[in-house]
């Protein structure tokens, strides 16, 4: 089975949007063992989109389109597919009824342009889109097929992983790439690679390291006809990696660090609070992105201005005057204040300067203090992060989670 992708959208050509969807679909096709040799990107232009689809369909037996399924005049992908396949567009009353009901629930007035989304090439099947209005489409014809996917990533991703992924798996039904990702924190990429060099040099499974923000992911992959066969190749190597890297391995596959931390806290029936200054709520945001986090994460204080540090965390005015808000002492007092007030097992305190400039006290951009308070006492670490405001803040959250991870695994 061979596939091609046609991404549709002038914003892609103009570089206003980076085509992450195509990369995601590429990974999905690789995982399913579907050969994918070419991708085209065209603007919101009916003739060029239809031509690209026609050419792709000539070379491959499955063509994916991405984008151009919305309600506006320049959403032309439905028309382009119909033109390329030589069929007409038909109005689907079921899709319209579904859309109208959705609009009513959301109390959004119905406009006639929405009916565009209820059109589909004759002979096609709609694919449910629980996260948006435009359905996907599967258009089969002469043993080949065009699969139309929506452009917004929050609609695209679930459709590829869900119904379209299932449809493709049923089509291929054989060999596929099976992968496991081993997620590593608190160790740099070159150190990780040095520790498992022999495995990276191996051929089956392949082991590929990827450096991420504050962590390293190791993708361990093999081609196999089924999960059991794959596991017999992957599991021993994953076990060896785990043995060599120890507690630096915090999770597998799609599990982010915040989820591993929450999971461990929940298992132990322990609780966590945060006192955030430089991250401004971002750490709480990450922790609460985990389903079921409320069992372990009680909440915290966004102590952005100094007065809040005093008022809600009991950081004393004398301490602030003597050490400043970006200091080891302040981070410790924030963590201990949260630990005491929220009566949790652990509390993290973060203060620092994310820029853009050296602060009034002369603290450099990137200086961040992170303290972890528990019943065993309080530890604190000073970091000097590089990068701009967003990078400094992300690295601060990541380091706080890493610190807690190692404390939980001591």
> Cα(64)–Cα(364) distance, rounded to whole angstroms?
49
Judged by CB, which is closer to a copy of itself: 90, or 306? 306
What is the nearest approach in angstroms of a copy of itself to the Cβ of residue 316? Answer: 18
**φ, ψ at 193 (rounded to 5°):** -65, -40
62: closest CA among 224, 223, 172, 173? 172
3-state SS, residue 120 = strand
Element (H, E) at 336: helix 328-342
22: closest CA among 2, 1, 36, 43? 36
What does the DSSP assignment read for 247-313?
A: GGEEEETT--HHHHHHHHHHHTT--EEEEESTTTTHHHHHHHTSTTGGGTEEEEEE--SHHHHHHHH
Residue 332: CA count within 13 A, CB half-sphere: 13
What is the nearest approach in angstroms of a copy of itself to the Cβ of residue 86? Answer: 22
What is the nearest approach in angstroms of a copy of itself to the Cβ of residue 107? Answer: 8
What is the nearest approach in angstroms of a copy of itself to the Cβ of residue 37? Answer: 6
Judged by CB, which is closer to a copy of itself: 36, or 124? 36
Scanning 132-226, the segments in alpha helix (DSSP H) are 153-161, 163-172, 189-195, 197-200
Judged by CB, which is closer to a copy of itself: 3, or 260? 3
What is the nearest approach in angstroms of a copy of itself to the Cβ of residue 113? Answer: 5
**φ, ψ at 186 (rounded to 5°):** 70, 20
Judged by CB, which is closer to a copy of itself: 27, or 91? 27
Judged by CB, which is closer to a copy of itself: 4, or 124? 4
What is the nearest approach in angstroms of a copy of itself to the Cβ of residue 140? Answer: 24
Judged by CB, which is closer to a copy of itself: 56, or 137? 56
| Residue 321, burial from CB neighbour count under 10 angstroms (0-12, 13-18, 19+) | exposed
Judged by CB, which is closer to a copy of itself: 124, or 133? 133
Return all residues near 120 (Cβ < 8 A) that are at least 6 apart: 78, 89, 90, 92, 95, 126, 135, 137, 139
Judged by CB, which is closer to a copy of itself: 171, or 298? 298
Residue holding tokens 């620092």?
Answer: 352
Omega within 30 of 0 (cis) for the link into 82? no
What is the nearest approach in angstroms of a copy of itself to the Cβ of residue 264? Answer: 18
| Residue 203, burial from CB neighbour count under 10 angstroms (0-12, 13-18, 19+) | exposed
What is the nearest approach in angstroms of a copy of itself to the Cβ of residue 409? Answer: 22
Could you give the C-alpha distances from 216 to 198, 252, 256, 286, 397, in angstroms and in order? 17, 11, 12, 18, 16
What is the nearest approach in angstroms of a copy of itself to the Cβ of residue 319? Answer: 18
End-to-end CA separation in angstroms for the chain: 50
Contact predicate 207/218, CB 8 Å:
yes
What is the nearest approach in angstroms of a copy of itself to the Cβ of residue 123? Answer: 28
Judged by CB, which is closer to a copy of itself: 225, or 305? 305
Judged by CB, which is closer to a copy of itself: 55, or 140? 55
What is the nearest approach in angstroms of a copy of itself to the Cβ of residue 212? Answer: 9
Judged by CB, which is closer to a copy of itself: 46, or 87? 46
């Amino acid at each position: 089975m061979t596939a091609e992708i046609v991404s549709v959208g002038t914003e892609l050509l103009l570089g206003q949007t980076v085509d992450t969807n195509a990369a995601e679909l590429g990974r999905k096709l690789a995982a399913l063992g579907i050969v994918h040799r070419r991708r085209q990107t065209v603007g919101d232009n009916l003739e060029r989109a239809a031509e690209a689809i026609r050419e792709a369909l000539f070379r491959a037996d499955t063509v994916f389109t991405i984008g151009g399924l919305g309600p506006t005049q320049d959403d032309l992908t439905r028309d382009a597919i119909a033109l390329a396949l030589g069929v007409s567009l038909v109005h689907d009353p079921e899709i319209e009824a579904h859309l109208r009901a959705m609009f009513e629930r959301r109390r959004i007035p119905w406009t006639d342009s929405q009916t565009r989304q209820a059109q589909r090439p004759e002979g096609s099947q709609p694919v449910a889109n629980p996260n948006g209005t435009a359905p996907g489409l599967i258009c089969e014809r002469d043993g080949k097929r065009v699969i139309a996917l929506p452009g917004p990533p929050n609609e695209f991703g679930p459709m590829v992983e869900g119904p379209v992924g299932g449809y493709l798996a049923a089509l291929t039904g054989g060999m596929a790439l099976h992968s496991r990702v081993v997620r590593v924190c608190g160790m740099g990429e070159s150190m990780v690679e040095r520790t498992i060099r022999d495995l990276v040099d191996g051929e089956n499974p392949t082991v590929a390291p990827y450096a991420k923000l504050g962590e390293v992911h190791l993708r361990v992959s093999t081609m196999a006809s089924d999960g059991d066969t794959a596991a017999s190749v992957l599991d021993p190597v994953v076990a060896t990696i785990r043995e060599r890297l120890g507690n630096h391995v915090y999770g597998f596959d799609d599990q982010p660090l915040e989820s591993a931390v929450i999971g461990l806290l929940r298992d132990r029936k322990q609780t966590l609070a945060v006192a955030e200054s430089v991250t401004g709520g971002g750490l709480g945001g990450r922790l609460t992105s985990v389903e079921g986090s409320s069992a372990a994460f009680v909440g915290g204080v966004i102590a952005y201005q100094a007065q809040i540090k005093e008022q809600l965390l009991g950081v004393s005015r004398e301490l602030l005057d003597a050490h400043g808000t970006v200091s080891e002492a302040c981070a410790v007092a924030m963590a201990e204040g949260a630990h005491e007030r929220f009566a949790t097992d652990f509390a993290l305190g973060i203060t620092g300067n994310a820029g853009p400039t050296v602060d009034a006290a002369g603290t450099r951009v990137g200086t961040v203090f992170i303290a972890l308070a528990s019943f065993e006492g309080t530890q604190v670490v000073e970091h000097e992060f590089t990068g701009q405001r967003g990078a400094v803040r992300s690295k601060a959250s990541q380091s706080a989670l890493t610190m807690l991870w190692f404390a939980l695994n001591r």
